[in-house]
Amino acid sequence: MEKQVTAIILLLSIFVSAETLHGQDQAKWVRQRSKMVSTAIISAGVKNIRVVNSMRTTLRHEFVPIPFRDNSYLDMSLPIGGKQTISAPFVVAYMTEALDPQPEDKVLEIGTGSGYQAAVLSPLVKSVYTIEIVQELAEQAASDLARLKYENVYPRHGDGFKGWPEHAPFDKIIVTCSPESVPKPLVDQLKEGGLIVIPVGERYQQTLYLLRKENGEMKSEALRPTLFVPMTGAAEDTRQVKPDPANPAITTGIFEEQSGESKSRFVPGWYYQRQSRLVKSKSAPEGEHYLRIANNLPGKHAHLMQGFAIDGGVVPRISLTGRLKYYGLKPGRNSDERPAVVVAFYDSNRKPVGFAMLGPFQGTKDWHEESQEIEVPSIAREAIIRVGLFGGTGTMYIDDLRVTATD
């Protein structure tokens, strides 16, 4: 009898400990989600209160693979398998706000991925029809959405280029992968007066557009530079401009306004821009402009990014070079919040495989050249270059930033 009592007490203690740990985990996620909404969404300009509330209550960590779950509420994309990623929280919030979701809307999503974007949309609209071309991702997302009781989300496996004609027309369409041009089937399946939010362009040079259907014609508004995984299937088969991984290079690293474009508040060719802009000056080391990044609040985002193709099996080394000037640079609250130029490498499944940097920088220094020879991981297939203060404070100016393959 005594042994039975002891066993029962032991089981109860294990149960209570598990419940306590579960409660602690949930409290941790709530804190991290609240910080994410405050620092990466509201402070970045998202104003729609319904969208903000959905971002605050949607459990992003439930859609992130376990190896990357601790990073669930950082404002960054994360690999989910199948050469796909879950978009950064700001991007999800920004696109959702641009879609102007209404309670009676029927929405089509192209690119289910993890299911997170559909989950964010779910409480904002009447129904979400979502298509994923990678079968294992489609099955996993369907399972997770059902487990989390998103009963107005209808996932399926298929090629999103073709849309979902059986349930057309749709009030809104959101596309979370990038074709080179807008697929005609999606236009045909959009209601008159409806909206499409879609990234369009070359593999590493894309623009996020808001399209509106008026009298059968599509009116477009360029929203901001962006970077998404490519739309595969029929869209990829017709892509005209493809990246050259044997010749890695930065686009618009001289930070000039592009000819023929109206003046934009965004730096051309770069995305995820925070507290960054072009400065026109006769003292520019190259051309008429240079990049300015500034921040006076420790921990606040101040950066921009760009992607490029690279095959580490063909290009074993690169040179990263730039001209810099900075004033009063200081690290942020944490040890990793330091101004720098960082190149991160990813494999064919978009998992991180290494990084290198110029910097970190501190203090004050006039224009000078910084250069670094970098070993490229042999399994690298693409790279992201990040330029910023990364939570540090001060002002940094950059010009003539280059990546070149070396022997």
CATH of the domain at 318: 2.60.120.260
Task: Give the closest residue to 80 by CA, choosing from 131, 115, 119, 114.
Answer: 114
Residues 375 and 304 in one domain: yes
The confidence score (pLDDT) of residue 15 equals 52
Same-domain check for residues 225 and 88: yes
The whole domain housing 122 covers: 22-237
Shared domain for 209 and 282, answered yes or no, is no
- Does residue 16 sit within a domain? no
How many domains, the chain? 2
Q: Are residues 371 and 284 in the same domain?
A: yes
> Of 77, 87, 122, 127, which residue is the catalytic one?
87
Burial-class residue 174 by CB neighbours within 10 Å (0-12, 13-18, 19+).
buried
DSSP 346-364: E-TT--EEEEEEE----EE
User: Is the distance from CB of 177 to CB of 95 less than 8 angstroms?
Assistant: no
Tell me the pLDDT tens digit for each residue of 132-163: 999 999 999 999 999 999 999 999 999 999 99
What confidence score (pLDDT) does residue 9 get?
55
Residue-by-residue pLDDT tens, the chain, 407 positions = 565 656 555 555 555 444 455 566 889 999 999 999 998 999 889 999 999 999 999 999 999 999 999 999 999 999 999 889 999 999 999 999 999 999 999 999 999 999 999 999 999 999 999 999 999 999 999 999 999 999 999 999 999 999 999 999 999 999 999 999 999 999 999 999 999 999 999 999 999 999 999 998 999 999 999 999 999 998 888 888 889 999 999 988 999 886 544 456 899 999 999 999 999 999 999 999 999 999 999 988 899 999 999 999 999 999 999 999 999 999 999 888 999 999 999 999 889 999 999 999 999 999 999 999 999 999 999 999 999 999 999 999 999 999 999 97
Please give the helix or strand (H or E) that residue 91 lies within, else none. helix 89-99
Distance set, CA 11 to CA 1, 7, 16, 323 (Å): 15, 6, 9, 64
Claim to verify: residue 310 and residue 232 sit in the same structural domain: no
- As a whole number of angstroms, the distance between CA 195 and CA 211 comes to 6
User: What whole-number distance in Å separates Cα of residue 43 and Cα of residue 21?
Assistant: 32
Residues in the chain: 407
Kindly state whether residues 125 and 172 are assigned to the same domain.
yes
Specify whether the CB–CB gap between 353 and 380 falls below 8 A: yes
Give phi and psi for 81, each to the nearest 5: 95, 170
Nearby residues of 3 by Cβ (< 8 Å), 6 or more positions away: none
The C-alpha angle 384, 58, 201, rounded to 5 degrees, equals 35
Q: Provide DSSP, 94-155.
A: HHHHHH---TT-EEEEE--TTSHHHHHHGGGSSEEEEEESSHHHHHHHHHHHHHTT-TTEEE
At 155-210, the pLDDT tens digits run: 999 999 999 999 999 999 999 999 999 999 999 999 999 999 999 999 999 999 99
Could you please report the per-residue DSSP string of 164-210?
-GGG--EEEEEE-SB-SS--HHHHHTEEEEEEEEEEEESSS-EEEEE
pLDDT of residue 261: 47
Same structural domain, 224 and 314: no
Per the domain annotation, does 3 fall within a domain? no
Q: What is the CATH number of the domain that holds 106?
A: 3.40.50.150
Could you tell me if 277 and 165 lie in one domain?
no
Predicted TM-score (pTM) of this structure: 0.87
Q: Is residue 149 part of a domain?
A: yes
In a domain, 282, yes or no: yes
- How far is Cα 191 from Cα 212, in angstroms, rounded to an integer? 10
Q: Are residues 163 and 300 in the same domain?
A: no
- 87 part of the active site: yes
| Residue 189 resides in a domain | yes
User: Does residue 257 lie in a domain region?
Assistant: no
H or E segment and range at residue 21: helix 2-36
At residue 47, the 3 state secondary structure works out as coil
Distance of CA 231 to the CA centre of its chain: 15
The helix/strand/coil state of 333 is coil
Residues 285 and 378 in one domain: yes
Please name the residue that has the structure tokens 């400990």: 17
Question: Do 200 and 296 share a structural domain?
Answer: no
Which two tokens mark 323? 């001209």
Residue 7 lies in a domain: no
Place of tokens 């901001």: 224
Q: Do 208 and 297 fall into the same domain?
A: no
Residue 262's pLDDT is 46
Would 248 be classed as within a structural domain?
Answer: no
